[in-house]
Structure 1
Amino acid sequence: MPRRPCSTLALVAALGLLTPLVATGESDAPRMEEEKLVGPQVALSVGVGAGAGYVYKHGTNLLTGQPEDLKVTDASSVSLPILLEVGYRGTPHWYFGLWGSWEKVFTKNSELSCPDGFDCNFRQWRFGPEARYHFRPGSGFDPWAGLGVGLEITQSDLKGDVEVPTPGGGTVPASVKLSITDRGPTYARLTLGGDVRLTRNVFLGPIITASIGSYTIRTGEQSVTLPGIGTSTTPLPPVDDGFHGLFTVALRVAWLKL
């Protein structure tokens, strides 16, 4: 009987020594898992996009000859972007890399962008560097935010038949073909998203991007073909820069080489 208190005290002392060890092991496990999130990373996103602002200002309508400002919302409805990211996760919190996107742009039928009866094809490329910060690496859901810059290029091809006025007051049928390239800088591109960990190194989650940019260079030509006369080609008239914003919402899958 006198030995029981000593045994009890020994058991309490042993538990007291084990408790911090168990607690340390539990707290270190997520930390050890977080420290593994370093290495090359590739991501692919597919979603929907839209824009606001101008394609150009103080231009001239190529079919009517009237002055015009072309807004993004007048030229297109939505786009379907495919985004690719290639970079390196230098630390569990920081990622640095390059982003790029190709977008099929759905045009609106209007005298400003795509007249009725015309065959119109618009597409856009955007790319540039980006830095990103992960707020909760190693957790089940890791929100992150990124900031980048870049370059954007939009190509537009239009062709169709129109009635061209003649000096005598009548009209003659003609075929018109336009090839246009608008390009300029992306001044800033903000990305927000989150990673849900599917496997050891595969993540899935939403991504939202918002960028501000400007089309500062517009190049291309207009070709008019008159039956029995031939084809005449002229360069596009000058325009002023088109400041605008572009937005995308997409689903993203990322692969990290551990």
Structure 2
Amino acid sequence: MRLALCCCLTCLTLLPACTTTISTTPGGDQVISRMIDGQGQTGISGQVRLKADTSPMAGAYVNIYPNTISNLLGPSQFLSAPTDAAGRYLMELPPGNYYVVARKRLSGLANGPITTGDYYSDHQRILAQVASGKLTQVDLEMLQMRAPMFFKKNLSDTKTDTGIRGVLLDEQGNPLPGGFAIAYVDNNLQRLPDYASTLSNQKGEFTLYLPKGGSYFLAARIKAWDMPHKGEPYGKYGGESALELKIKDNSFVEGIKIRLAPFTGTYKEMNNQRPL
């Protein structure tokens, strides 16, 4: 991880206004290419605010990732200094395309897992286009985490000889990297999952290790906490009804495809407890 140079934020008030240019990809990336003259600087600047009341959030850190293979979790390529009292930040970066995420931990730490009570940026897949001599303007809205993260190493990294291999696809049928499949031992998918796959690679491929054979129900998403929000890419194996998938001990089911589309259901706060 590299610490991006954060320059004097008062200069932001002297920069000319910019026009908003935002688009959304089929995979759910929100692409931002609104730029202003950097007056000798190249990078990203903006404001971090609390979504509930739009108040500025001081002490938040902005993380910059080159791709989504890590699901925008863990150490980032670049890390800002804490946002100032007005919630503003400015990071000098090389030209390129970057995913931008903001986090504020109640511990005050810049790095480490985020947990219940911490804050994270609402739209997790913001892709900023940075051009030489320009400052791309990226404002971030923060939500407070109400449910614990379920994507943890002990859910995905314990290799077994039983499981599922497949591919995540976006709404258009293209491979979706940086997402994961989740498995349930029953058809109640409105709770924390029982198992999660490895993150999908650039080809959308994932592996989901299971402790034993049995009947499972699968879904897929890109966020690692809470219930899906409207517009978040989300899908179930078998469609809306979710098909039961039977797996034998000491074997893998291959070729499973799960297509993700913008979630259109009603958001319900996640039940934090796993079943016994």
TM range (shorter): under 0.3
TM-score of the aligned structures, taking structure 1 as reference length: 0.21
Q: What TM-score, normalized by structure 2, do the two folds share?
A: 0.20
User: Which structure's CA Rg is the greater one?
Assistant: 1
Larger helix proportion of the pair: 1
